[in-house]
Structure 1
Amino acid sequence: MKAAVVQSAGQTPVFAEFNTPAASTDENLIVVTASAISQVVKSRASGAHYSSGSQFPFVVGIDGVGRLDDGRRVYFILPTAPYGSMAEMAVVRSHQCIVLPDALDDITAAAIANPGMSSWAAYSERAQLKPGETVLINGATGTAGRLAVQIAQYLGAAKVIATGRNTESLKDLEALGADVIIPLTGDRSALEDAFREQFASGVDVVIDYLWGDSAESLLICAAKAGKDAVPIRYVQIGSISGPEISLPGAVLRSSAITLMGSGIGSIALDRLVNATAELLHATVPGNFKIAHKVVPLSEVENAWPLDDSNRRTVFKVKGGA
């Protein structure tokens, strides 16, 4: 079969022949129709992600959309190694497949599942967001962050605060439901004043895609907001601004901040699959929007370095709907 194959760590995937998989008794053999690039996929392909394997060559891709033998359309996650989702065929454990609603097309499902799941799982599984609460999304201008704004509203958040470096993209978030936007630009003192103002009014949940300097400022400002401030559930999802922060221990001792992460490993797989199913069934009713472009899988080598956080690259494999 044809697939996007990584021959060794750090190499760009190439469109090449790979052995056709065979399913065991607890697996489904899936004819893949669509699969998208994500930060996790790129990191695993490079060998840098904490969940990366050491087996080469392998087919890239951790999730996708396809058809079962009986014709049902499914979204699937974590194919059995060395087979990935960016191939004509994939093998996946049965409980890692989600039957798609009829109204949701293959391309949209492939585009929205991974970035949408990142915030849906963080809200529902980690932060346990309740209707009427206030959410702050740190790094809301990428595809995942924009979905986080929409999903927070859908799940009943009363107020959504969005931060980001791109001021033009931040303005667009107001149309998606952001009530307050905070540019991560300019003087740090002015930025921290803006953070303190929001925390003084009450922030229940922080969803952080950036980490780095802005996370340091957010946590310190949250702690300084005072004892009357609302306890905060701070969920770290991504590290675009850097893998480490410097945080005084007094920040956690002097405040009611619960600091946690959300990702592969922090949530049991069955609950992660369930969260993704909830997202996919809410996509059409919630009218969730995601920017994406469709590229034939045969062009994976050229498309790979051009992918960015503003628009998802979805590979069309076998005539997806």
Structure 2
Amino acid sequence: MIQIQAAVVSDFAEPASYRPIEIPEPRAGEELVEVLAAGLHPRVRSGARGAHYTSSGRLPQIPGIDGVGRRADGALVYFALDDDRFGSMATRAVVDPRRTIALPEGSDVVRIAAAMNPAMSSWVALRRRITLTPGAAVLVLGATGSAGTMAVRIAKLLGAGSVVAAGRDPRRLARLASLGADVRVRLTEDLDATASALAGAAADADVVLDYLWGAPSGRAIPALLRARTDRSRPLDWIEIGSVAGPDIVLPSAALRSAHLRLIGSGQGSIGPREYLAELPSLVEAINAGRIAVETRVAPLEEVHAVWAEQPQPGVRTVLMP
């Protein structure tokens, strides 16, 4: 066993605390890396509550699903982990080299740690779950969150002709025009009015990137389908997140009366090899500044206090040992 310092979750109802913990020695084909930066993503928080659909329920747990590290030979790498027991929020982590990609020296480790996970959600969805036709019309539901904001930009980078951005935060919504949003729709508590507004703005969308799900999506899907000029035209509705709720109520007629294709995108629907194949081009886009991300950096030893704070909308927290 190897003793390290790490953020440790001992109770799913409590924030992580910084303390010593032992992790297993690398097995054959694995290696130990020095962790330089790890993102405190919403996905990390849900896993640390035992609430993510991939959670095994094992404790104690070191949270963190990815990060930037340095190998024993000095090489800088981005790494992803698939073990929910021993994660990346630690001074060192055991990684599978097949789940790492080399980073150029001089890469901004904070930007990479902050952006890879949220950017990957739309990048991989548009590259691996559907065939995005050049010039396609895309609707992003939940566009004022970090991942949704990146999705607006990524849709344009990958060839979308127009993007409708829908979100709650009016300040962030206003800024999305500069990132490629052609139309912006404010989401409100009035679900029927919001669904009507979405139908008016994106009735003929080709793709929906849905970070909301729940009641807003349950109302929006029938409204958009009823408003389509040609209901036989395919609409790929890609479910990525569920910040508005884990379930929807959808009339069966919605599936019969229009060419609706409901698709999920996440761990399980996309294999590790597919994810890894997309990482080099995504790293290049982040390093080149083509995908914007707002960051906040905090020392790993302050994880307990940071964890308990209310996350800032649109800002990704990165912990550094």
Q: Under TM normalisation by the shorter chain, which class is it?
A: over 0.9
Task: Give the equivalent residue in structure 2 for 1:32.
Answer: 35
TM-score (norm 1): 0.93
Task: Give the equivalent residue in structure 2 for 1:119.
Answer: 122
Structure 2: any 5+ residue segments left out of the alignment?
A: none
AA aligned to 2:200 is E
Task: Give the equivalent residue in structure 2 for 1:311.
Answer: 315
Structure 1: any 5+ residue segments left out of the alignment?
A: none
For residue 51 of structure 2, the aligned residue among 48, 51, 54 is 48
1:20-41 deviation line (CA, Å, top 9, x unaligned): 5421221121110000111111
Matches of 2:94 and 2:190, distance apart in 1: 51
AA aligned to 2:206 is D
Given that residues 183 and 201 in structure 2 are in contact (C-alpha distance below 8 angstroms), is that contact kept between their aligned partners in structure 1?
A: no
For residue 178 of structure 2, the aligned residue among 167, 175, 178 is 175
Q: How far did 1:119 drift?
A: 0.8
Q: How far did 1:106 drift?
A: 0.7
Matches of 2:36 and 2:192, distance apart in 1: 49
Task: Give the equivalent residue in structure 2 for 1:106.
Answer: 109
Q: How far did 1:8 drift?
A: 2.5
AA aligned to 1:117 is M
1:89-114 deviation line (CA, Å, top 9, x unaligned): 11111211111234531111000010
Given that residues 5 and 15 in structure 1 are in contact (C-alpha distance below 8 angstroms), is that contact kept between their aligned partners in structure 2?
A: yes
For residue 184 of structure 1, the aligned residue among 176, 183, 187 is 187
Task: Give the equivalent residue in structure 2 for 1:203.
Answer: 205
Q: How far did 1:3 drift?
A: 0.3
Given that residues 5 and 58 in structure 1 are in contact (C-alpha distance below 8 angstroms), is that contact kept between their aligned partners in structure 2?
A: yes
Task: Give the equivalent residue in structure 2 for 1:222.
Answer: 224
Matches of 1:215 and 1:316, distance apart in 2: 37
Within 5 A, what are the aligned runs for 1:141-180?
Answer: 141-180=144-183
Given that residues 79 and 85 in structure 1 are in contact (C-alpha distance below 8 angstroms), is that contact kept between their aligned partners in structure 2?
A: no
Task: Give the equivalent residue in structure 1 for 2:214.
Answer: 212
Given that residues 223 and 252 in structure 1 are in contact (C-alpha distance below 8 angstroms), is that contact kept between their aligned partners in structure 2?
A: no
Given that residues 140 and 165 in structure 2 are in contact (C-alpha distance below 8 angstroms), is that contact kept between their aligned partners in structure 1?
A: yes
Matches of 2:291 and 2:279, distance apart in 1: 14
Given that residues 208 and 236 in structure 1 are in contact (C-alpha distance below 8 angstroms), is that contact kept between their aligned partners in structure 2?
A: yes
- The alignment partner of 1:168 has SS state of helix
Matches of 1:2 and 1:122, distance apart in 2: 35
Aligned pair count reads 316
Structure 1 residue 299 and structure 2 residue 302: aligned?
yes
Matches of 2:76 and 2:59, distance apart in 1: 30
Task: Give the equivalent residue in structure 2 for 1:133.
Answer: 136
Structure 1 residue 90 and structure 2 residue 123: aligned?
no
TM-score (norm 2): 0.93
- The alignment partner of 1:245 has SS state of coil
AA aligned to 1:204 is D
Matches of 1:177 and 1:23, distance apart in 2: 44
AA aligned to 2:314 is N
Q: How far did 1:175 drift?
A: 1.3
Q: How far did 1:188 drift?
A: 4.0
Task: Give the equivalent residue in structure 2 for 1:280.
Answer: 283
Matches of 2:85 and 2:170, distance apart in 1: 41
Given that residues 80 and 92 in structure 1 are in contact (C-alpha distance below 8 angstroms), is that contact kept between their aligned partners in structure 2?
A: no
Matches of 2:318 and 2:220, distance apart in 1: 34
Given that residues 236 and 260 in structure 1 are in contact (C-alpha distance below 8 angstroms), is that contact kept between their aligned partners in structure 2?
A: yes
AA aligned to 1:69 is A
Matches of 1:124 and 1:103, distance apart in 2: 28
Matches of 2:209 and 2:317, distance apart in 1: 24
